[in-house]
Amino acid sequence: MSHGTLDYQFTESLYVTGNIEAGEMNGTASIDYDREGNWSVDGVYLDGWDKIARKFNTTVKLPETSEVYRILHDRLTTGKTAQFISSEVLEKLEGDGVRFRSDRQEHSTLHSAAHGV
By C-alpha distance, which of 97, 91, 89 is closest to 6? Answer: 89
Give the integer Cα–Cα distance in Å for 39 and 89.
Answer: 8
pLDDT value at residue 1:
64
Which of these, 7, 18, 66, lies nearest to 74 by C-alpha position? 66
Nearest to 91 by CA among 31, 51, 23, 49: 31
Instruction: Render pLDDT for 90-110 as a digit per residue (tens, 0 to 9).
Output: 999 998 888 776 544 444 444
- Sheet with 4-17, strands from edge to edge, namely 4-17, 20-33, 39-50, 55-61
Q: Where are the domains of the chain?
A: 4-114
Angle of helix 67-76 relative to helix 79-95, nearest 10 degrees, comes to: 70
Whole-number Cα distances in Å, 32 to 5, 6, 85:
5, 7, 11
What is the phi-psi region of residue 103: left when phi exceeds 0, alpha when psi lies from -120 to 50, beta otherwise?
alpha
Do 14 and 68 touch, CB atoms closer than 8 A? yes
pLDDT by residue for the chain (117 residues), tens digit each? Answer: 668 999 999 999 988 899 999 999 999 999 999 999 999 999 999 999 888 888 777 899 999 999 999 999 999 999 999 999 999 999 999 988 887 765 444 444 444 444 454
